[in-house]
Amino acid sequence: MSDAANNNRFINMKLIRRDDQREVMEEIMKNDHCPFCRENLDKYHKRPIIKEGEFWVLTENQWPYEKTKHQLLAIYQRHIEHLSEMDTEAGAELIEMFKDEAKKRKMEGGGIAIRFGVSEHGNFGNTVLHIHAHLIEPDIKALGPEESWKFKFGQPKNYRKD
């Protein structure tokens, strides 16, 4: 199946990590929806909305990464795909949301990460292109010997080289 047939323009099927995720993503692809746009979110996203702000919707990742204790998502309210399109005031709201939730959950430490953008060669590791931020506390006890928990920025494994 070609890349075009394997994706809609809002998602990247190559980055699916789990079988239960695949089923939902196939439906999203078929319907040609952006799953993170507010009008579609409730249809595909089954985790509770923790908070809704002017710029962001805070929720949990429906398909959390392996070896994480907590993984929250803040989904941008408007459909944007690049950091350059973000409102000036959005960063402050994002950090406030994450700070409050991290405190509530007694999160000890971890990272905040956002992937953004696309190029003619693919995207930068985001399954859904609609801008979303991750708040992650890795589960240190679940890590194997000599293992570190890393957030990846990059394109699919088989992306083209120059």
Partner 1 sequence: MSLDLSLLDDPTIGSLGDCRTLEYYQELRQKILKGECPFCELDTARNPVLLAVGNWRLWKNPFPYKHSKHHLVIAHQSHQADVDNLAPEDWSAFGSLCRWAIHRFQIPGGGIAMRFGDANYNASTIRHLHAHIQVPDRTGNVRATFAKDPTQIATCRERAVIFEKLTQGFPIEQLAASECLLIEGRLPAEMAERLEQRIKALP
- Interface ranges with partner 1 (CB under 8 A): 82-84, 86, 88-92, 94-95, 98-99, 102, 107-119, 121, 123-125, 135-138, 140, 143-155, 159-162
Shortest Å, Cβ 71 to partner 1: 11
CA dist 147 and 136 (Å) reads 17
Closest approach of Cβ 69 to partner 1, in Å?
Answer: 10
Distance between CA 32 and CA 90 in Å, rounded? 27
Would you say 9 or 121 has its CB closer to partner 1? 121
Nearer to partner 1 among residue 43 and residue 82 (C-beta): 82
Look-up of token digits 């746009």: 37
SS3 127: coil
Nearer to partner 1, 41 or 118 (CB): 118
What is the closest distance, in whole angstroms, from the C-beta atom of residue 134 to partner 1 in the complex? 9
Q: Which is nearer to partner 1, 40 or 68 (CB)?
A: 68
Q: What is the DSSP letter of 121?
A: T
In angstroms, the Cα distances linking 102 to 26, 33, 55, 108 are 32, 31, 19, 8
Task: Please report how close the Cβ of residue 148 comes to partner 1 at its closest, in angstroms.
Answer: 4
Residues with Cβ within 8 Å of 34's Cβ and at least 6 positions away in sequence, in order, are 10, 11, 40, 79, 128, 129, 130
One-letter amino acid for residue 90 of the chain: A
SS3 28: helix
Nearer to partner 1 by C-beta: 44 or 65?
65
Rounded least distance, CB 30 to partner 1, Å = 26
